[in-house]
Amino acid sequence: MTTAYAFSTQLYLDGHRTDGRATTSLVVRNPATEEPIAEVPDAGPDDVRRAVEAARRAFDEGPWPRMRPRERAAVLLRMAEEMERRLPELVAVNMAEAGSVRALAETLQTRVPVAHLRDMAERVLPAFDWERPVAPTPVPGLGISQGVLRREAFGVCALISAYNFPFFLSMMKVIPALAAGCTAVLKPAPATPLESLLIGDFADAAGLPPGVLNIVTGDAEAGRVLTTHPMVDLVSFTGSDTVGRLVYGQAAASLKKVVLELGGKSANLVRADADLDGAVRSSLAGIVTHAGQGCSLLTRTLVHACVHDEFVARLTEGLAQVRTGDPADPATTMGPLISAAQRDKVEKLIRTGEEEGARLAYGGRRPVGLERGWFVEPTLFTDVDNSMTVARTEFFGPVGVVIPFADDEEAVRIANDSPYGLAAGVWSADPVAAYEIAARIRAGGVAVNGGSAGVSPRVAFGGYKQSGLGREWGEFGLEEYVQTKSVTWAAR
């Protein structure tokens, strides 16, 4: 296998680097240049099975599940220290393989997941309710019972992450799985495997026992072997709702626990009394952040009719200031889509919007002067009805829609009229009214008047409806990776 990077791009199995039995490679390309930057093994079924078997041995026979929480916390902290030492490398790889602009690569893509790791080791693990006594309780006709409730690691976990936030999404699964005492096989998206492979280096540096974390690179077949393997106890998947349904079905035959973080078409409600400057910035970010490749981005903006025209004019002005191009250039504010296939999908949806009668208020084409790279202009549709395809389908591209509403009742109805329910936003000068609206929106997270609290390790992340099952981050993520056992005895 070849690579331009200093770290290994081999599989990470049972604490060792190996090409495995793969006979073919996956080519990783820079989406801004279309040039190949690395090759990784296209792991076959045998490689995946070896990874699962290593994780099974490590769980059944190894020390990791039996360590005290503070002992596991110490290893996780050493991993965090190694990540911090190699942050510049992580940032560079993220810009190259995922196409993140520098500002995003240096924050949400890299430093934020390291902060989550530290929080798990320093705050969550020491305070988690691992064991709780059951008070002596009379049981009619059977005497008095007492005992202990134990929280124990779920077992072997299959962790499958998406391409858009490679390191972030992988770590949001690895962190709680390892903290709980589970063992795992991580399979990153085939388009962006490099940052996840680096996690093997961090595990080695921290002294993680062999087999506790295994990393395989491969395509859909590797994922299918993972989700159907009888030795896997839990599957955690991040990706589209279409693939999520397949994963759910594959895991069902052996009744595995499934955690799904899927898509969204998140609404951003702008009331008549809103701070329009802040609301416009929020909607602009929903369109251009990572070229729209984010499941929780607010891409469906609902604006009170009395401020609709002014809002659209300001948002259009903001889109005109977006600089699309080389992600490594600090002046660039929007990078490329991940692949030619994703660009084709986005362009097809843009044409559908025009055909259904929505007005293309800005963009919709490929940027002039960028012949290489999978770029699309930031795009805005107005004159949109919530029944249109562009209002109901997740683009995963830099496209937003604006829909007017007459009052709060209509705004909430439109916001909830979606198969998804991942995130939302509310903008209003009246905090009480904003909170009441937020409480009525069927979404896993609602941001009132912006802010960055939504990525805090102290909040729960996950969706309603077809946006997924379960929660991630902090103690809420840890809960998904433990089971409760009752150990009882008769009181004497």
Which tokens hold the place of 465?
Answer: 């409806």
Which residues on neighbouring strands pair with residue 16, listed in sequence order?
13
> What is the spatial distance between Cα 211 and Cα 213, in angstroms, rounded to a whole number?
5
Q: At 204, give phi and psi (nearest 5°).
A: -60, -45
Nearest CA to 381 out of 405, 354, 401 is that of 401
Which tokens hold the place of 172?
Answer: 């949001």
Q: What share of the chain is helix, strand, coil (3-state, %, to 5)?
A: 40, 25, 35
Host H or E run for residue 196: helix 194-206
Spacing of C-alpha 455 from chain mean position: 11
Which tokens hold the place of 259?
Answer: 């955690």
Nearest CA to 31 out of 375, 398, 377 is that of 375
Of 97, 106, 261, 475, the catalytic one is 261
DSSP β-ladder status, 420-421 and 423-427: unpaired
- Burial label for 197, CB within 10 Å (0-12, 13-18, 19+), is buried
Alpha helices in 325-426 (DSSP H): 340-355, 389-392, 408-416
Q: Look up 35 and say whether it is catalytic.
A: no
Q: Look up 261 and say whether it is catalytic.
A: yes
Give whole-number Cα distances, 411 to 269, 404, 432, in Å: 7, 8, 16
Nearest CA to 464 out of 288, 261, 183, 309 is that of 261
> What is the spatial distance between Cα 140 and Cα 129, in angstroms, rounded to a whole number?
29
For helices 308-320 and 276-288, angle between their N-to-C axes, nearest 10 degrees? 50
> What is the spatial distance between Cα 437 and Cα 431, in angstroms, rounded to a whole number?
10
Nearest CA to 218 out of 32, 10, 374 is that of 10
Of 82, 157, 295, 394, the catalytic one is 295
Q: What radius of gyration, in Å, describes the C-alpha atoms of the chain?
A: 23
> What is the spatial distance between Cα 310 and Cα 308, in angstroms, rounded to a whole number?
6
- Give the catalytic positions in this structure: 261, 295
